[in-house]
Structure 1
């Protein structure tokens, strides 16, 4: 097996995040449940945008955030995702590549504009996401750069992209290419609504030995397995994947790997401002740690450091130098 050119290649929804403050009364008036993510159409995206307050734009999407986090830590990261040849598509490409992420997937005029997510953040830092998937949900297998996949040490896939049928085939093909090249495949369950819709498909991937590294939070791993608590859920999955990582919010995270088990506490945060991207940056830190030869516990701690930094400000991309933060805490 040749040496990898990239540490992590992420495949996911190419989404521009439009982030605005709001209060609980605004959510109630819009009929929105705090903290949830819903899929919307273009008309609803336009309507909600007109009702929102002043907003900030940043390239987002779960896998894109993780790729940006890996790059911020000093890793070699790439991204595959679909944008349209429009203003937001150009913005997404420039914003992501400016972080040091390799993004060469060409824009495609498939009749849908570039995806965007209206992220409403309440004073308690909870975010309510309203996502129009647009062109992102049309990523075809033909758009994959198979040499790029074979050149990455870890292929990282987001569960959100499993929902539409076309990119699901692209993800399956990407897994085949990565495994044929002897590379690792990482998968994040993304959200309980994804598991509710695709539990059987996710379990087929896991039971079939096609996933090497699985990321989940406490609610997701319980929903995936149907176990009554997190520990039993971990026990149900740990033997099916080489590495299992479960985040538990303020209680830190736990990982199992080839019979070993490690825990790490959550990093202290003076004030939680916006939890958008916390899981994405945790995955970035963990994957960076693993591709850098770090121990399992240190990889968890790097994930916690990255997650703590991103929830201390608006947006899902780090603002402080993650390399400095990691060096100060871990050396």
Structure 2
């Protein structure tokens, strides 16, 4: 395929995270299932935000977090996502560029505000995510930088953004551009709560050969296939995608590529502070190692080290240079 300007370009939600600690009683009071993810209207987000305790703001979004991680590990990353021309949009753009991620998508001058995710962290480190997508779901195919997609070795698509019609159409257009240029397309299912309403288009995309590398966790694999066991789900999915990567929490992770299965244990972790971004950093580590030509085992191990690093502190993004953390 030859050299490319970027290792990975991602498409996903452009979101600013607002993170605060809370107790289980707060979640019960507001009817929020612990450890879950739900979508909020801008108005409902305003109500919840007013009730939250002292918070810190930092740019987020699943694929955007992964691109920040890739840049921190020495990879060449770019991002496509929709922001609004407002304060949170300016924060998001600044943060992406400060990490060294190429981000040039134009901001919307009218329409909904930049998306935000209100993240509540309980004492056990679990995060409950409440997302008001806002402008991020206004991404259209007309926004795409086609040359950027052609000049990236891997196109990484985020499941969170795959639901609404506009960004889904943009993703499918980007997928066609990437495959037309001989590039690899990676997809992350993002969250089990997303799968029920999107199962048919997810499976159609996979059945049509649209996905070269699929990221999911155990629950997502089972829910997507509708099968009773993980082994059955793995058999079905690995027959349809060239590379299947499954995270298993404390049990580690596995990958199946062209019939070869590799399992690795979880990386050592001290105290879990905040699980926000664990999956995002795992994908970042795996993709960075893959872009550098490492084998499956090393890619899985790199992902595990990156995930272990991020859950030992607040927030879903790197805290400085991660090359030594993951050994790249």
User: What's the TM-score once normalised by structure 1's chain length?
Assistant: 0.98
Q: Which consecutive residues of structure 1, in runs of 5 or more, have no partner in the other structure? A: none
Q: Deviations along 1:180-210, whole A, 9 cap, x unmatched?
A: 0000000001111211111111111111111
2:120 touches 2:128 (CA, 8 Å); kept in 1? yes
Matched, 1:160 2:129: no
2:285 touches 2:326 (CA, 8 Å); kept in 1? no
2:20 touches 2:121 (CA, 8 Å); kept in 1? yes
**Equivalent residue for 1:70?**
70
2:72 touches 2:320 (CA, 8 Å); kept in 1? no
Q: Residues of 2 paired with 1:92 and 1:326: CA distance?
A: 26
**Equivalent residue for 1:312?**
312
Q: Deviations along 1:41-85, whole A, 9 cap, x unmatched?
A: 111111111110011111100010111111111000000000000
Number of positions where the alignment pairs a residue of Structure 1 with one of Structure 2: 328
Matched, 1:288 2:299: no
Q: Deviations along 1:17-36, whole A, 9 cap, x unmatched?
A: 00000000111111111011
Matched, 1:213 2:213: yes
**Equivalent residue for 1:126?**
126
Please state whether the residue corresponding to 2:233 is helix, strand or coil.
Answer: helix
Matched, 1:146 2:143: no
**Equivalent residue for 2:246?**
246
**Equivalent residue for 2:90?**
90
Q: Residues of 2 paired with 1:230 and 1:288: CA distance?
A: 27
Matched, 1:51 2:51: yes
Q: Residues of 2 paired with 1:231 and 1:272: CA distance?
A: 29
Q: Residues of 2 paired with 1:324 and 1:67: CA distance?
A: 18
User: What's the TM-score once normalised by structure 2's chain length?
Assistant: 0.98
Please state whether the residue corresponding to 2:103 is helix, strand or coil.
Answer: coil
1:110 touches 1:135 (CA, 8 Å); kept in 2? no
Q: Residues of 2 paired with 1:202 and 1:90: CA distance?
A: 32
Q: Deviations along 1:131-152, whole A, 9 cap, x unmatched?
A: 0010000001011000000000
Please state whether the residue corresponding to 1:215 is helix, strand or coil.
Answer: strand
1:9 touches 1:156 (CA, 8 Å); kept in 2? yes
Aligned-pair distance for 1:110? 3.7
Q: Deviations along 1:214-257, whole A, 9 cap, x unmatched?
A: 00000000001111111211111101111000000000000011
Please state whether the residue corresponding to 1:236 is helix, strand or coil.
Answer: helix
Q: Residues of 2 paired with 1:75 and 1:195: CA distance?
A: 30
1:154 touches 1:186 (CA, 8 Å); kept in 2? yes
Aligned-pair distance for 1:264? 1.1
1:110 touches 1:138 (CA, 8 Å); kept in 2? no
1:278 touches 1:316 (CA, 8 Å); kept in 2? yes
1:11 touches 1:81 (CA, 8 Å); kept in 2? yes
Q: Residues of 2 paired with 1:194 and 1:152: CA distance?
A: 27
Aligned-pair distance for 1:261? 1.3
Please state whether the residue corresponding to 1:319 is helix, strand or coil.
Answer: coil
**Following superposition of structure 1 onto structure 2, how do residues 267-286 of structure 1 map, counting pairs within 5 Å?**
267-286=267-286
Q: Residues of 1 paired with 2:56 and 2:236: CA distance?
A: 41
Q: Residues of 2 paired with 1:241 and 1:56: CA distance?
A: 39
Aligned-pair distance for 1:2? 4.0
Q: CA RMSD in A?
A: 0.9
Matched, 1:111 2:111: yes
Matched, 1:188 2:209: no
1:37 touches 1:131 (CA, 8 Å); kept in 2? yes
2:279 touches 2:307 (CA, 8 Å); kept in 1? yes
* Regions of 4+ moved over 6 Å: none
Q: Which consecutive residues of structure 2, in runs of 5 or more, have no partner in the other structure? A: none
Q: Residues of 2 paired with 1:231 and 1:225: CA distance?
A: 11
